[in-house]
Amino acid sequence: MQAKASYQNIETKPSVSQRQYLMLAIPLIISGISTPILGAVDTAVIGRMSDAAAIGGVAIGAVIFNTMYWLLGFLRVSTSGFTAQAQGANDSQEMLLSFVRPMIIALLFGLLFIIFQKPIITIALSVFGGSETVSSFAESYFVIRIWGAPFMLLSYVIIGWLIGMGKVRLSLITQIFMNLLNITLDIIFVFGFDMGIKGVAVATLIAEVSAVLLGIGIILYTKQISFSSLKLSMLMEASPLLKMLKVNSDLFLRTVCLLTMTGMFTAMGASMGEVTLAANAILLQIHYIMAYLFGGFANASSILVGRAIGGKQKPLYNRAFTLSAQWGFGSAVVMSLVMLIIGQEVISFFTTISDVVATANTLIIWMVIFPIFGFWGLQLEGIFSGATEARPIRNSIFYALLIFLLAIWLLVPAYLNHGLWLAFVLFSLSRSIFLSLYVPKLNKIINN
């Protein structure tokens, strides 16, 4: 009852206490971190097969899906922002439309991914490279998981809508259910039925389908939208439709830049050998966990900023900005210290292959540095997303990508894999700096 009261306070008061912010952020952190933990467990399970090529195959397969899904990541981000603004304005019709419009886009792109699966995997393997054995493992993983594409994209919309409505616990239930089911099936299929990489892919597919069914049931249970009132003319209304398309196109281009960086990083790691590829894959999983931890605070700020704009509450916007900075920096310091103190133990969780462990241990310093350099850009993305101001997000990532390209050209020939990781950290720092330059413009928009 106390938790419920605190959420009500967040909805009605322009000022939010530290405790109220945490009560909003913590479920979002747990919800968000469940996603990279899913990939981490997949990697850890396959790591027990004592085959570096298998780890590399899962890594490349995961990057292919991340590439496809992250391109459509705007489905969650924009759905959350538009829904929070509709909720702040108490506009029930827009709450419904903020769910249905992106749902149609999710189904369309999910079906297109299935239809064009053969050219997708062929092009992806030619881009990411890796040995013939690694490519074979990656393709085995891909051809099974691809059938879950419509469901995974639908889950983005469901989760984004629940977050935007402030139904954080229900969003948490949906994601935790998917990931716990996937983890359980991973263990059963890989260790119980000896299905290897195919078992990991089947487990993920079943979990994705099950999560969407649960999510739709939860939305119907909330009874906050009525599909019976939906009309085609509402969906095609020009002004909100154009705004949604504009925001989504900017977020799409932002993701293209981000995935260009990630794809180049993975491909260059693959060119350095299977052991380096596997070690980099492990550190990337650790990086994803950190990024999603920051994302919990960013999503909390996004909800508050969206409500502030929808309800025209400038004090709530200012408070969200301050809390995002405070908790983002504090969590960055804690993460850096954790990796500095027990980084080797964290890496040992992922694999028992001695060469991979030894290589990954030499790279721990980059996981110590990353949180401090990267946290502010991630926090600001939450604030700008809540305001549905996506163009600054797009521009800042593009400029950071240019820095990354220059860095790998200068650093990789001299420092090899360490040069690659330095370029990665410089990308994260540039992302923070460039997006910070747009904050005064955002403040002017809020003030008007």
- Read off the pLDDT of residues 335-380 as tens digits, 9 standing for 90 and up: 999 999 998 888 888 777 888 888 889 999 999 999 999 999 989 9
- Read off the pLDDT of residues 130-178 as tens digits, 9 standing for 90 and up: 677 778 888 888 889 899 899 988 988 888 888 878 787 888 788 888 8
**Predicted pLDDT of residue 281:** 84
Please check the confidence at residue 1 and state whether its pLDDT lies above 50.
no
Please check the confidence at residue 7 and state whether its pLDDT lies above 80.
no
- State which of 182-186, 282-286, 422-426 shows the largest mean pLDDT: 422-426
Please check the confidence at residue 293 and state whether its pLDDT lies above 90.
no
Please check the confidence at residue 36 and state whether its pLDDT lies above 60.
no
Share of the chain above pLDDT 90, in %: 21
**Predicted pLDDT of residue 13:** 47
Query: Would you give the distance in Å from CA 165 to the centre of its chain?
Result: 19
Residue 127, classified by CB atoms within 10 Å of its CB into exposed (0-12), middle (13-18) or buried (19+), is: middle
**Predicted pLDDT of residue 209:** 92
- Read off the pLDDT of residues 65-79 as tens digits, 9 standing for 90 and up: 877 776 777 777 778
Cβ(394)–Cβ(253) below 8 Å: yes
- The torsion angle over the Cα atoms of residues 358, 362, 368 and 373, rounded to 10 degrees, is -130
- Read off the pLDDT of residues 198-232 as tens digits, 9 standing for 90 and up: 888 898 899 989 999 998 888 888 766 666 666 66
Q: Indicate the range of 11-15, 277-281, 357-361, 415-419 predicted with least confidence.
A: 11-15
Cβ(378)–Cβ(294) below 8 Å: yes
Please check the confidence at residue 53 and state whether its pLDDT lies above 80.
no
Cβ(387)–Cβ(309) below 8 Å: yes
Residue 261, classified by CB atoms within 10 Å of its CB into exposed (0-12), middle (13-18) or buried (19+), is: buried
**Predicted pLDDT of residue 287:** 87
pLDDT band at 234 (very low <50, low <70, confident <90, very high): low
pLDDT, averaged across the chain: 81
Cβ(79)–Cβ(103) below 8 Å: no
- Read off the pLDDT of residues 96-114 as tens digits, 9 standing for 90 and up: 887 888 888 889 889 999 9
**Predicted pLDDT of residue 3:** 39
Q: Indicate the range of 57-71, 373-387, 397-411 predicted with least confidence.
A: 57-71
397: helix, coil or strand? Answer: helix
Residue of 307 and 416 predicted with greater confidence: 416
Please check the confidence at residue 11 and state whether its pLDDT lies above 70.
no
Share of the chain above pLDDT 70, in %: 85
Cβ(427)–Cβ(261) below 8 Å: yes
**Predicted pLDDT of residue 402:** 96
